[in-house]
Amino acid sequence: MTVIERHQPARHRAIFLSDIHLGTRGCQAELLLDFLKRNESEYLYLVGDIVDGWRLKRWWYWPQAHNDVVQKIMRKARKGTTVIYVPGNHDEAARQYCQLTFGEVRVEEEAIHVTPGGRKLLVIHGDQFDGIVRYARWLAILGDWAYTMALRLNTLFNWGRQRLGLSYWLLPEYVHARIRPPVSWSYAFVRRFHAPSAAVLVVAQSIRDELAERGFKKLVPWSRGVDIAAFRPCPHRNIEETRPIWLYAGRVAIEKNIQAFLDLDLPGTKWVVGGGPQLGKLRRRYAKARFFGSVDTEKLSARYAEADCFVFPSRTDTFGLVMVEALASGVPVAGYPVPGPLDVITDPKVGALDDDLRSACLAAVGRDPSDCRRHAETFTWASCAQQFLATLQPIPRGTWQPLKRRVLPDAAAS
């Protein structure tokens, strides 16, 4: 029997949550609930689109997990957390209740958050700056409907291609192959969009290098972090499965390239943790592998710590926090030498990257857990937050006024 230590929730001064979209099937309510259980704060800002009223008007979808999230937030408010709800466009119905308080939750059109260092941050939802949302609401709703239908059709279409043994179909690549619009046009538009910014935050060095080659300026690194208290090395216990244990954790979907991992001829046992549209198919096809489905953070931490090597088969992820979680658990990582793994596995002591994934796995297994842990400790949320705060600049009066032409508060404009 595995004994899992229970840690006190992490304490923060402020937590900001946005675009949760409760009431939709795409909402990750279970993960959010797990986060809320593990983190406490003095201030909790709910910044727009917490509930998707647009979607709920068309069809009702409200499972128990979504109700649990609401109850958890209300419970935090009752226990002393200052909860401020700033509605967005998808939950715009709540704007008629601004300046009111419901169950200790204050509803405000905007808020000013003061950091410990005295900096004043304007908290507002982005639809205030969207002309389509504010002045052509019918077009915004039509776009939302079209986006939803496109996602459903894409899922159905690629499911059919899978059944026929065909690869995943990407519309942008298809359009580029048929129409051949110059890629430089898209980059020119994006460069112009970002030109007024004080900094362009990039998650990985490989992406930074690519954007620099495309002529982007003021590129600033913004790393990611993990909860190194939740993910930590633990002694291996006696298990029935044959070692080494090869672990994949994450979304079980075609773009993650999990089949490349499961097809490998490796000694030991393969574990897959996570849910997604491919879970049923892969579970039936690879009977010798062990599938755990979606698990909470405590069980995920236990699976990491029990593994001998973490395998990251994706070729398209831009970073991949699961790699850092594995390293924090003392587990080396194997993957392809592509952006994402190249930005995390920067020390050969903590893993191996190879175009032959099997070779990478065999080279990575057996690395020193203490080296993996030390490397993971360079990816912390505290460092991530400091990098973000260091890029913030005061908003000059009149520079970015919401489209309803009101003047920004002095606290946010000076």
Q: For residue 187, which amino acid is it?
A: Y
Indicate the class that CATH gives domain 245-379. Answer: alpha beta
Average pLDDT over residues 231-255: 92
Residue reference for tokens 């579970």: 283
Whole-angstrom Cα distance, residue 377 to residue 102? 41
Any idea where the domains of the chain sit in the sequence? Answer: 10-129, 130-181, 245-379
In this prediction, residues 374-378 reach a mean pLDDT of 93
Contact in structure between 333 and 351 (CB atoms under 8 Å):
yes
10-129: CATH topology is Purple Acid Phosphatase; chain A, domain 2 (3.60.21)
Peptide bond just before 244 cis, omega within 30 deg: yes
More confident residue, 268 or 90: 268
pTM higher than the cut 0.85: no
Question: Are residues 191 and 213 in contact, defined by beta-carbon separation less than 8 angstroms?
Answer: no
Please report the pLDDT score of residue 197 as a whole number. Answer: 86
Whether 2 has a pLDDT exceeding 60, the answer reads no
Q: What are 143-193's pLDDT values in tens digits?
A: 667 766 776 676 677 667 666 666 556 555 555 555 566 667 778 888 888
Rounded CA-CA distance 30/34 in Å is 6
Percent of the chain with pLDDT over 90: 48
The Cβ of residue 239 has, within 10 Å, a number of other Cβ atoms equal to 11
Cβ atoms of 327 and 225 within 8 Å: the answer is no
Question: How far is Cα 202 from Cα 239, in angstroms, rounded to an integer?
Answer: 42
Copy the structure tokens of residue 151. Answer: 């996602």
pLDDT of amino acid 4: 41
**Euclidean distance between CA atoms 334 and 361, whole angstroms:** 5
pLDDT range class, residue 397, cuts 50, 70, 90 = low
